Amino acid sequence: MFKDLEVEVENKIQEKLDDEIVKEMQKKMLESISHIVEEQTHYNDRLTAEDIVKEYHIGKNIVYKMFKDKELPAQNFTRPAFVLRGEFEKYFRVRRDYLCN
């Protein structure tokens, strides 16, 4: 009789532990997904020349040179011209000596 009760209690404890593990895993997955969505949202932010000057502390004339560069996929046909943050960061990672003059 006590043996059955002991087994039943152990089963209930194991079920609770399993539930806690599953909940913890779900919480971690949700945090990971939220982080990915947040990164993707920032990647698609539109940056104007003024935004780049403020955020990256680059001179306005250099930013306008960047916007004229064919390698930067800036949308120059709109006013104000803009570039997606992710595209700008890709462009910005590569050294460009002509921008140093």
Reported as a single tens digit per residue, the pLDDT across 20-41 is 887 888 888 888 887 777 766 6
Compute the half-sphere exposure of residue 100: CA atoms within 13 Å on the CB side of its CA. 4
**Residue 37: alpha-carbon gap to chain centroid:** 7
Give yes or no: residues 78 and 54 share one domain. Answer: yes
Residue 1 has pLDDT above 70, yes or no: no
Question: Does one domain contain both 71 and 58?
Answer: yes
Per the listing, tokens 């940056």 go with 47
52 and 71 both lie in a single domain? yes
Residues 59, 86 within the same domain: yes
Whether 7 has a pLDDT exceeding 90, the answer reads no
Asked if 82 and 65 sit in the same domain, the reply is yes
Average pLDDT of the chain is 83
